[in-house]
Amino acid sequence: MPDQTLIVDGVVVSSNLLTLSHGEHCHDGDCKAACCVGGIWVDLLEVQRILEHANDLRPFLAPQYALNEDLWFEDDDYLHPDFPSGVALATRTVPRAANAEVDGCIFLRADHLCALHVASDALGLGWPGLKPFECATYPIRRADGIVGYDEETAAENPHADCQKRTEPSPLPRFVVFKAELELAIGKKAYSELAKRANSL
């Protein structure tokens, strides 16, 4: 299906959400956080919230990066309207705690879990807590105002597509990634998308 757009409840979404998946949503962790290779752009307001919780977060980070929060984000900012504040900072990429020959996001721990995710759970901060919004919705992503499935990251790393190879008849991506899409666009827009998809 060509990559066109639909508008649901005022939100622009990509028709790539209607494409059939490879299978059910994978939560196995066998990918060892393949999507975290390059780090992530984080809205400035989220960066500020993470840094306000720096002392709470330290016990959950890889020890070599825990004490110095100046290392956690790159210095250069990125101005783009996809981010609610209009400004984002990238998480720093460093040699992975589990394998120093490969780089990964500084918040990635030796157990391949995200320190911001683990800490948010432990501190009872709800979902997504301190986990960057773009990471919490992955592989759903907003790019140039269009919310869709992140073809780019999955193409760069096939282990990062978050799908098991299951048969028969895999479901469309918007069904497989319902939770991530509802977080990204809201339940009302999701419901409208599902109705539109089912009427095609």
| Of 117 and 173, CB closest to ligand SF4 | 117
Query: Does residue number 40 form part of the binding site for ligand SF4 (CB under 6 A)?
Result: yes
Query: Does residue number 91 form part of the binding site for ligand SF4 (CB under 6 A)?
Result: yes
Query: Does residue number 89 form part of the binding site for ligand SF4 (CB under 6 A)?
Result: no
Q: How far is the CB of 21 from ligand SF4 (least distance, A)?
A: 21
Residue ranges of alpha helices (H) inside the chain are 44-52, 54-57, 63-66, 115-122, 133-136, 151-156, 173-176, 178-185, 187-198
| Of 8 and 62, CB closest to ligand SF4 | 62
Q: How far is the CB of 7 from ligand SF4 (least distance, A)?
A: 29
Query: Does residue number 65 form part of the binding site for ligand SF4 (CB under 6 A)?
Result: no
73, two tokens: 């984000």
Phi, psi for 163 (deg, rounded to 5): -130, 140
> How far apart (Å, rounded) are the C-alpha atoms in residues 163 and 65?
31
Q: How far is the CB of 105 from ligand SF4 (least distance, A)?
A: 3
Range 113-127 burial, b when 16+ CB lie within 10 A, else e:
bbbbbbbbeeeebee
Contact set with ligand SF4 (CB under 6 A):
33, 36, 39-40, 91, 105, 107-108, 114, 116, 132, 135
